[in-house]
Structure 1
């Protein structure tokens, strides 16, 4: 059974990336994300059009996707999302959003990982983690211009009252070539907490967008080969 923190919450922590080959490159910086119940969203911070599809609500989008993948949600299921919120000007960029789909008794039915790249494309995959929050997925989406679309992701998720974390390793040709992680503690999204997070990490969604490009240019200047991007067809339930 999943024990949730008080929602909505801010998960304040750090994100880290580590590229192991053919060039070594790593970084770590402070950031935060929102943890919310999609049926009880903070006003003006989230839009259904930002995630999965053009449905009338975030829940409708998640339900349409899981049903298309063979896992229909029940009316009393709860869906909890870890994601970036829109800025006051309406901009949002979310490299990875995670949806935990829970039964009415708090058991995990499935998780949905939604990925956005910097080319305006999005993709999603459904998984059923084991008791330790672990699962593996095939790489199906062009994210970094320096990695081919093959290999497997090895993912570990944690969601409880003490900590929220997402850890991902990309394995290609039996080598762990890349790791990414976000970990932090959930704090109730009271006005003072939100203000403090915004002051310590200002313009967070712009920061994510800019840092991806800055690190990409740095890798390009180091002559890391760029992989050609092919047109992407999203899975059923994603538009």
Structure 2
């Protein structure tokens, strides 16, 4: 069984130490909350950098001392859903120290893969997190996560590999533009309420595959890290 789709959507490319703050009249279109990312319990006054550092230390990785650029979705109208967020972590000399690929599933759980890509932006990591009800927790992810280019071009892909097959591939490509008020409003015409629409599309495709009798893979028992209320 083959199933594929392509959509236009909208994500933000930000410096995690200076997340954008929109004017009050536009704030429902993008709010960046640190507790929307990383699996550790949130504490008051934590920044996104604090949460990144806490997670990296928990997996035995030295936190970066340079800039960190993230590709993610903010809260829109109070709702957030990030199927994949990517954090490019740099050393003080601006060389890439590591990449954190954070995955959220529709059960309100999250998991981070920390990788060291090669000079082409490629890395491999064993799958360790239940995402789709049609894929068990096995196989290897091949990630293509080169840093954003100087002109703002983004080219990210994730492919799940098993023996002699690649049952799942997802790609995200686009061009970053300055987040002016006019452009933010225009984006809502192209991709309105992007996080909500993305979550709805994932569920719709899941129902479609279920109706085609694609077998459901049992969800393993694990300690879930729930997302904040409203972030499913």
Q: For the residues of structure 2 that align with 1:234 and 1:160, how far apart are their CA atoms?
A: 35
Question: What is the aligned counterpart of 2:13 among 16, 35, 39?
Answer: 35
Question: What is the aligned counterpart of 1:98 among 83, 86, 105?
Answer: 86
- Deviation track 1:8-52 (CA, whole Å, cap 9, x = no partner) reads xxxxxxxxxxxxxxx100000111100001110112611111000
Partner of 1:50: 36
Q: For the residues of structure 1 that align with 2:201 and 2:96, how far apart are their CA atoms?
A: 33
Q: Please list, as runs of the form range in 1=range in 2, the aligned pairs for 1:77-226 lying within 5 A after superposition.
A: 77-87=66-76, 89-158=77-146, 159-162=148-151, 163-226=153-216
How far has the Cα of 1:90 moved from its partner? 1.2
- Deviation track 1:125-180 (CA, whole Å, cap 9, x = no partner) reads 10000000000010101000000100000011132123112111111223111110
The higher-RCO structure (CA 8 Å, 6+ apart) is 1
Q: For the residues of structure 1 that align with 2:211 and 2:224, how far apart are their CA atoms?
A: 31
TM-score, with structure 1 as normaliser: 0.85
Q: For structure 1, which segment, 65-74 or 90-99, has the greater mean C-alpha deviation from structure 2 after superposition?
A: 65-74
Secondary structure, aligned partner of 1:101: strand
Secondary structure, aligned partner of 1:227: coil
How far has the Cα of 1:71 moved from its partner? 2.1
Q: For the residues of structure 1 that align with 2:69 and 2:185, how far apart are their CA atoms?
A: 23
How far has the Cα of 1:234 moved from its partner? 6.8
Secondary structure, aligned partner of 2:123: strand
* Aligned partners of 1:48 and 1:57 also within 8 Å: yes
* Aligned partners of 1:141 and 1:232 also within 8 Å: no
Secondary structure, aligned partner of 1:195: helix
Q: For the residues of structure 1 that align with 2:91 and 2:178, how far apart are their CA atoms?
A: 23
Q: For the residues of structure 2 that align with 1:212 and 1:175, how far apart are their CA atoms?
A: 22
Partner of 1:8: none
How far has the Cα of 1:69 moved from its partner? 2.3
How far has the Cα of 1:100 moved from its partner? 0.6
Partner of 2:24: none
Q: CA RMSD in A?
A: 1.8
Q: For the residues of structure 2 that align with 1:157 and 1:102, how far apart are their CA atoms?
A: 14
Structure with more strand by fraction: 1
Where structure 2 has 5 or more consecutive residues not aligned to the other structure, the ranges are 22-26
Aligned length, in residue pairs? 213
After superposing on structure 2, the runs of 4+ consecutive aligned residues of structure 1 that deviate more than 6 Å are: none
